[in-house]
A and B are shown apart, each in its own frame.
Chain A
């Protein structure tokens, strides 16, 4: 018996030991700084799949760490993966605003820029039971009693939030009268809206697509400058609301990568955006491809940092 038990223990230790070093050479680690089921999550998982398709990696592990505009995931990524050339952090405009607001000890300066991948536009949705039929109706409600229109979206100061505040300003409503309810992830926004706890919600088109298709939600507007090809949905501008909400996403690598490691990872990611998997996903989610890499990408993120900071100040959020 004693022998059996010690071998059980040994087996346990072995298994735990394997788990302690999950980074075998061909395994990609993807940190998604939001709950599963959201926009970051979809981007990360599809990129992982595309990277496997290119043969650069055999398998991929995804980790979800939501909250605080993605900076919780950023901190965990930076802490856990120092110098690991097989790790990617999904990020985007929401992460930049998160960093501006939270001013965390670990910021994007601690990790290595790889590439911007896509740009996505938001939709404004209500649930199917809602009496509101279009943007005009929603704006009318907003003008009547701003506090009574409850908007659900991502964390405070996210592009979702900035966009909603901009819609309010366009309608002449002061930003501190806007009743914005921040949630940690797309799944929570969806259940709050479907349950009738909020009036309207905003989120990436890909996140809301299935609920719009199944008829659980009604889309009031897409936030792109012009109508998107293949999508019969009016823009905000068409409905007299002069606002655009766009959200880009990209990836960063681990802290402390050598220039060679950075280049290799960048090449692998760019190659992945040429795969069938990736191209199909672009079409399906109505993502606009917008790949930039290297110093151009670092500069872009810096510019976004200044631009979004200015927007936050203007909106009275920072």
Chain B
């Protein structure tokens, strides 16, 4: 333990050199900027920056890349909250409550809780990384296909929290999402499914495209079609830009819970950043004392629904460093490109890295602390500026959002077909809104469907067709047990006449 501390102190010495501070700042700034643009993810940015590894010394470059990674995770929340446009799958849950809050004049607190939550989660997760990286890495490896599938089942069961007031409508949306997720080539056998002979469909339908179509485009069109006549609403309402005492009280437990959910997920190889945000949202939805605030209930937006997923999102990003540094296994596209950066310096991430290049590893870990502080300093003053964006009159604002969405989707692969598809989905979204179908379950179905199919098939192959595998392996069985609790305990309690706070 003393060794760890000594190494870390030395790491700070490295990371606090002015030149490295500058790289961390550049990374965070760039990351935040690209996080704001839909369609450009941190993976692409880091990949584009890789050539700097030829000029800059390893520690500095890696510190900058981590800044980009963190900044992007963070920047995604800004567009989610302000424009109802999730730039990446991990910030989808933030749009649900965040954008509703912004519409009700509370963009400031929503952005602030996202910024501070990311900071809190990032810092706690970095502490966990410092202390327990090797331990956590071994645990993460225990997750095979059976364990992953159990997690997906849990996610599916808890997803009801986003289904909205009508279960039937919510399930319909989820089914639509699952169907969209089936389009394209099957990941295991390579058979093309439901492509209707359209070559563009062979590689599946991009998540960002559907999200932008369903959230940003459909909302803009909906506003034009059905709300343009309302006199007073030409400008969004503006409220305080700062968090109230009540906001703080409701945010901090959500931050901690989000971190607790996000960090372990990040450290599991191939875990992904989406499921922890789903689980964090549903946890907050279940535990809240203010169920009426949630957008799924038609409320003004609940701050814990922003705080939790944002914290989970950032904790996952830090958690992903665990298998990356200790085992050399990337858990996300960005982490994979970070490995390529290591390789450009002839460094091999893995257990040997901690032994052979201790100053670099600990410098990197120290820079994660610094990056978190830097992001907070960078973003808190911006909250006020961003929030003002909503004071643009609605016609201009929505026109701007449409332009923004169009450019973002086109930049993904320069395809006119994608644009057409985005607007078709946008129109479909308008119809869904008109008839009160929630749009979030579509995205969730689209993400979870293909993932769970693949894990189920691999799990059954490994277990030689034994469906009981999900109850025989301890971790999978525990998760399945948890799923049954979530499913049946409320019913049981209700039968016994006990009322849960959210149901009264």
Contacts and interface: CB of A to CB of B under 8 A. Distances in A.
A75 interface: yes
B185 A148 contact: no
A179 B411 contact: no
Interface of A: 1-2, 4-5, 8-9, 12-13, 15-17, 19-20, 22, 35-37, 41-42, 45, 49, 52, 59-65, 67-69, 71-72, 75-76, 78-80, 98, 101-102, 104-106, 147-148, 150, 155-157, 179-184, 187-188, 190-192, 194-198, 210-211, 213-214, 216
A191 B327 CA distance: 9
Contact of A67 (B44, B187, B199, B391): B187
Given A72-B203, A79-B199, A61 B48 contact: yes
A89 B454 CA distance: 26
Contacts of A52: 51
A311 B92 CA distance: 45
A216 B329 contact: no
B351 interface: yes
Contact of A61 (B36, B47, B145): B47
Nearest to B454: A184
**10 shortest interchain CB distances as A-B pairs:** A36-B336, A197-B144, A102-B190, A195-B141, A68-B190, A191-B269, A20-B411, A80-B413, A16-B407, A68-B185
B464 A148 contact: yes
A181 B188 CA distance: 9
Contacts of A147: 464
Given A68-B185, A194-B141, A157 B190 contact: yes
Contacts of A102: 185, 189-192
Interface string B189-215: 111100101011011100000000000
A195 B142 contact: yes
Contacts of A16: 37, 39-40, 404, 407-408, 411
Contact of B190 (A49, A80, A98, A194): A98
A166 B476 CA distance: 33
7 contacts: A62-B47, A79-B415, A98-B190, A105-B202, A191-B270, A195-B143, A196-B144
Given A1-B391, A79-B200, A102-B191, A37 B413 contact: no
Given A19-B37, A79-B199, 9 more contacts: A5-B392, A12-B37, A35-B330, A75-B199, A104-B202, A179-B461, A181-B145, A191-B141, A195-B269
Contacts of A180: 461
Contacts of A181: 145, 458, 461-462
B40 A68 contact: no
Contacts of B458: 181-183
Contacts of B350: 210-211, 214, 216
Nearest to A17: B407
Given A79-B200, A102-B192, A195-B141, A5 B348 contact: no
B336 to A, nearest CB: 3
Interface size class of B (residues with CB under 8 A): 35 or more
A37 to B, nearest CB: 5
B411 A191 contact: no
Of A35, A36, A104, A210, the most chain B CB neighbours within 10 A belong to A36
A contacts with B: majority SS: helix
B192 A155 contact: no
A197 B192 contact: no
B328 interface: yes
A235 B365 CA distance: 41
Contacts of B47: 61-63
B145 A197 contact: yes
B414 interface: yes
A106 B199 contact: yes
B252 interface: no
A110 B336 CA distance: 29
Contacts of B471: none
Contacts of A214: 348, 350-352
Contacts of A179: 461-462, 464
B412 to A, nearest CB: 9
A105 B197 contact: yes
Contacts of B195: 105
A187 B336 contact: yes
A138 B38 CA distance: 49
A180 B461 CA distance: 8
Contacts of A45: 340, 343
A69 B190 contact: yes
Contact of A187 (B39, B188, B329, B415): B329
A243 to B, nearest CB: 22
A194 B403 contact: no
A68 B461 CA distance: 17
B472 to A, nearest CB: 13
B51 A60 contact: yes
Of B190, B340, B407, the most chain A CB neighbours within 10 A belong to B190
Contacts of B189: 68, 101-102, 156
A63 B412 CA distance: 11
A80 B185 contact: no
B222 interface: no
Contacts of B330: 35-37, 187
B51 A59 contact: yes
A78 B202 CA distance: 11
B335 to A, nearest CB: 8
